[in-house]
Amino acid sequence: MALPPKPIPVEDRFWPKVDRRGPDECWEWQAGTNRAGYGRLRVNGVAELAHRVAYKMLVGPIEGDLCVCHSCDNPPCCNPAHLWLGTRKDNNADMGRKGRAVVPGLTGERHPNVKYS
C-alpha cells in the first residue's frame, strides 16, 4: 500500500508565486487574487491572504483580530518591510490620511476617481 504524498511546506508553495525584488520595492503576488487584488492561497485547507501569510512567515504571529496593513497601498505586495499590524480603526485612519477612504454619497459618477460616466 502506497503512502499518501507528503504535503508541500507552505514556504515552498508560497515563494515561487512572489516576485521578490529589492528590499524597498513591492514583492507582488503572482497567483490568484480576490476582487480587491489581494493574493490568496490555501494553508491547511483554509483560504488565507498572501500578505498575511508573508507576515506570519517573516515577522511573526498575528495576535487577535489585527489587520496586516500595507504602507505601500499595493494589495498584492508581500514585502514584510511594507507590512505593519494595526486594528481596523488604524487601517481605516491610514486609508483616510491617504485619501483612499470611501466617503458616503461619493459613489459611482460622484466619486472623484471615477474613470467614466
Query: What was the pLDDT predicted at 59?
Result: 97
Query: What was the pLDDT predicted at 24?
Result: 96
For the chain, which ranges sit under pLDDT 50?
none
Query: What was the pLDDT predicted at 114?
Result: 65
pTM for this predicted structure:
0.81
Query: What was the pLDDT predicted at 116?
Result: 63
Query: What was the pLDDT predicted at 1?
Result: 74
Burial 44-68 (b: 16+ CB within 10 A, else e): eeeeebbbbbbbbeeeeeeeeebbb
Query: What was the pLDDT predicted at 15?
Result: 97
Cα(105)–Cα(108) distance, integer angstroms? 9
